[in-house]
Amino acid sequence: MELYSTLSRTIEPLETLHPDRVYLFVCGPTVYDYSHLGHARTYVAFDVLTKYLRWTGKEVFYLQNITDVDDKIINRAAEEGISQPALARKFETEYFRDMLALGIDAVSYYARATTHIPEIIDQVGRLIARGVAYVTETGVYFNVDSFERNGELSGQDGTNRVSRVTDATKQNPLDFSLWKTGEYGEYTWDSPWGRGRPGWHIEDTAISEKYFGQQYDIHGGGLDLIFPHHEAEIAQMESLEGKHPMVRYWLHTGFLTVKGEKMSKSLGNFITIRDALKTWNKEVLRYFILLSHYRSPLQATDEGLANAAKGLGHIRAIAGKDKGPDEEGRKTFIDAMEADLNTPMALAAIQRLAANGDLGALKEYGAILGINFLQETSAPLSVLHEIREELRAKKQFEVADIIREKMVAAGITITDQPL
C-alpha cells in the first residue's frame, strides 16, 4: 500500500517497523460536547484505513487518546455546574455512542489523558533532565530552540504566528507548555513542579510511548492538528532519546466544510452526528464521506447527501443476482485502496462490481468500507413498501411521498410501478 505522508510530502510505500504489524495512533476528541460531522469525516477515514489493512492480513494496533483535561472541559463543566470528570465521562460515552452508530469500531484501545498522569509526569521530568524543557513559576515549558527539526512537518516554525497568550516567564514566546501549575478543580495533580495539570501536546506522546515505544508507523488526525500540535509531539518524543523519525507516515484528513468554512464548534456551523442520523442512515453518511478522498476538503450539503443516498440506492438496485467474481473489478477496487486509500475510485469499482453482479466482492469490500451494498429485504422494510403501495392506491400521495423521501435518504431503493 502507498500512503501520502505530510512529513515527506510524497506518496510512499508503507513499510512498517514490524512485519505485518501496524502501529497507528490517531488524535481522539476533546470530550466537552457532542461530536459533529467533521469528526465523522476524520474517524471514518481511519476506520476504513484500519479495516483495509486488517483485510490485507496486517495486525493493526489502533490507539486513540481521549482528551479529558482541557480548558474547554473546565469552562463547560463550570457553565453546567457539574464536575470536570462528570462532564468528560458524559461526553466520552456520547462520543462512543456516535462512533458506534456510524459503524466506527476499529479502534483497539482508547486511552484517557487523565489515566496517564504518571506517564505524563515521567515524560516531562525526562525532558527537563535532557535540558530541553525548563521550569518557571507558571509551569514547565519545552524550549523550541533546542529542537533543530522544529517546523519540519508543517513547513513553519511558528514565527509568523503571534501567540495570543504571552507568558512573561517563557524564554521564547513560541515555547509550549508541558505542565501548567495552578488549581484547576478536580483535574489537578501533584507533580515535582507543583500542583497543576498537563499541557495539551504531552498526553499524546506519553500515551503513544507507553503502548508503542518512541517510534511507530502512522500518526493521524485532521489538518488543523499539524501545527502546533503534531509539530510539538515530534519535538517532545524525538528529544527524549533522539530517535528519528518518531513516525514516518503522518496522515492528515481534509476538512469537512460548510459554505467553504471548516465545520467546528467555535464557528457554530456544525451538525451533530446524532442529528444527521435522524435524516440519513449510517451507510449513507459513510458513502457520502468516502465519495471524496480523505485528503480533499469535503463540502457538507443536503444536496451532496441526497446524491450519496441516490448513488448507494443505485448500487443496491443494480446488484441483482450473483454472477460470480469479476476479477478486473476486484483488482480495480484493491488498486484504488492501495493508492493512498483512494475511496472515490474504490466506490467507482464497487459500481462496476454491482453492475457485473459480483455479490461476493460487494459483501467483502462492503465490510471494509462499513457499507452494506446488498440490500437485505428485512421484514420491516417490506412492511413499509406495502404501506406505501396501499397509500398510493388510496391516492394519499403526500404521506406516501414522505415515506419515500425517508426511505431514499436511508439509501433504500424504490422503483414505483405505475398505478
Nearest to 58 by CA among 17, 12, 22, 88: 22
Nearest to 199 by CA among 123, 91, 129: 123
Selected range binding ligand AMP among 34-42, 311-319, 323-331, 404-412, rule: CB under 6 A:
34-42
Which residue lies nearer to ligand AMP by CB, 39 or 392?
39
Least Å from the CB of residue 264 to ligand AMP: 6
* 223, 297 contact by CB (below 8 A): no
* 126, 159 contact by CB (below 8 A): no
* 128, 142 contact by CB (below 8 A): no
Binding mask 164-193 for ligand AMP (x = CB under 6 A): ------------------------------
Which residue lies nearer to ligand AMP by CB, 67 or 143?
67
Least Å from the CB of residue 358 to ligand AMP: 33
The dihedral built from the CA positions of residue 242, 246, 248 and 254, taken in this order, carries a sign that is negative
Least Å from the CB of residue 36 to ligand AMP: 7
Least Å from the CB of residue 328 to ligand AMP: 34
Tell me phi and psi for residue 349, to 5 degrees.
-65, -35
Least Å from the CB of residue 67 to ligand AMP: 6
Which residue lies nearer to ligand AMP by CB, 29 or 370?
29
Question: Does 150 sit near ligand AMP (CB under 6 A)?
Answer: no
Selected range binding ligand AMP among 39-47, 129-137, 238-246, 331-339, rule: CB under 6 A:
39-47
Which residue lies nearer to ligand AMP by CB, 43 or 134?
43
Query: Which residues are registered as beta bridge partners of 61?
Result: 23
d(CA 327, CA 42): 31
Least Å from the CB of residue 220 to ligand AMP: 7
d(CA 189, CA 122): 13
Question: Does 225 sit near ligand AMP (CB under 6 A)?
Answer: yes
Selected range binding ligand AMP among 196-204, 251-259, 326-334, 350-358, rule: CB under 6 A:
251-259
- Binds ligand AMP (CB under 6 A): choice among 56, 138, 172, 264: 264
Residues in contact with 192: Cβ distance below 8 Å, sequence separation at least 6, in sequence order: 121, 125
- Binds ligand AMP (CB under 6 A): choice among 5, 6, 16, 42: 42
* 313, 284 contact by CB (below 8 A): no
d(CA 101, CA 272): 12
- DSSP per position, 279-347: HS-HHHHHHHHHTS-TTS-EE--HHHHHHHHHHHHHHHHHH-S-----HHHHHHHHHHHHBT--HHHHH
Least Å from the CB of residue 122 to ligand AMP: 24
Which residue lies nearer to ligand AMP by CB, 300 or 353?
300
The SS3 of residue 258 is: strand
Size of the site for ligand AMP (CB under 6 A): 17
Question: Does 361 sit near ligand AMP (CB under 6 A)?
Answer: no
- Binds ligand AMP (CB under 6 A): choice among 123, 181, 215, 253: 253
Which residue lies nearer to ligand AMP by CB, 271 or 410?
271
Q: Which 195-224 positions form the footprint of ligand AMP (CB under 6 A)?
A: 221-222, 224
Least Å from the CB of residue 292 to ligand AMP: 11
Residues in contact with 347: Cβ distance below 8 Å, sequence separation at least 6, in sequence order: 287, 290, 291, 311, 369
Least Å from the CB of residue 165 to ligand AMP: 18
Residue number, nearest CB to ligand AMP? 222
d(CA 231, CA 250): 11
List residues near ligand AMP by CB under 6 A. 27, 29-30, 38-39, 41-42, 221-222, 224-225, 253, 255-256, 262-264
